[in-house]
Amino acid sequence: MSAPQILKIIKNNGGTIHMSEALDAGINRYTLYSMLEKGEIERLSRGVYRASNTPAMTEPDLAIVASRIPKAVICLISALSYHDLTTQIPHRVSIALPTGIKTPKLDYPPISAYRFNKESFEAGIEPHQIDGVSIRVYNSEKTLVDCFKFRNKIGMEVVLEALKLYRERQAIDVQAIMKYAKICRVSKVISPYLEASL
């Protein structure tokens, strides 16, 4: 298979390709390595490649995590950053995983995995596209609730700043927040802060 054919397959695959997908498509691993050496493709992470002539990625860390760990949902500070609800710069990608799933190992970027029970894990997921990669991220309201739940790990100042920015940028969806708070069992914690924000 020629390099232009392989680049077309990568483009049709959303701009990235896993080694396993390449092998399934009949692409020889040595051909991929040769293209990598020639600079025709670049390695995003172990086993994930993209065409070198693709426009620069806007959120490479999120795209890599989503392509390597498709079950993960972007959460907490990474989700706050995605929704522009924090001034924090995430140094790790925060991901939610269902209980019972082992944390995958990534060379890069560094990740912090948080465990969620089934109902809490599945609530509030929004699908998005970043740099041609499908990602899953919790919506703003679920993210706020998760931040209250994990306030001891991320810091209460981060949570209060997120609530303030949320309130400044949109009407507070109290119903949605309380729905997620009930699922995550933090209704009593979050209620006084919500009342003070109204």
Q: Are residues 102 and 30 in the same domain?
A: no
Q: Are residues 44 and 66 in the same domain?
A: no
Q: Are residues 123 and 104 in the same domain?
A: yes
Distances (CA, A) of 132 to 19, 124, 172: 17, 22, 31
Q: Are residues 17 and 112 in the same domain?
A: no
Residue 21: half-sphere exposure toward Cβ, Cα within 13 Å: 17
List the strands of the sheet with 133-138, edge to edge.
Answer: 111-116, 93-98, 73-74, 133-138, 125-130
Q: Are residues 117 and 183 in the same domain?
A: yes
What is the per-residue DSSP string for 91-159? SSEEEEEETTPPPPP-SSS-EEEEEE-HHHHHTTEEEEEETTEEEEEE-HHHHHHHHHHTHHHH-HHHH
Q: Residue 16: which H helix or E strand, with range?
A: strand 16-18
Residue 56: the pLDDT is: 73
Query: In which domain, by residue range, is 34 found?
Result: 3-51
Number of domains in the chain: 2
Per-residue pLDDT tens digits for 83-125: 999 998 889 999 999 998 888 888 788 999 999 999 999 999 9
Residue 198: the pLDDT is: 66
- Positions of the chain with pLDDT under 70: 198
Residue 180: the pLDDT is: 97
Q: Are residues 9 and 103 in the same domain?
A: no
Q: Are residues 104 and 129 in the same domain?
A: yes
Q: Are residues 97 and 153 in the same domain?
A: yes
Q: What is the CATH number of the domain that holds 73?
A: 3.30.460
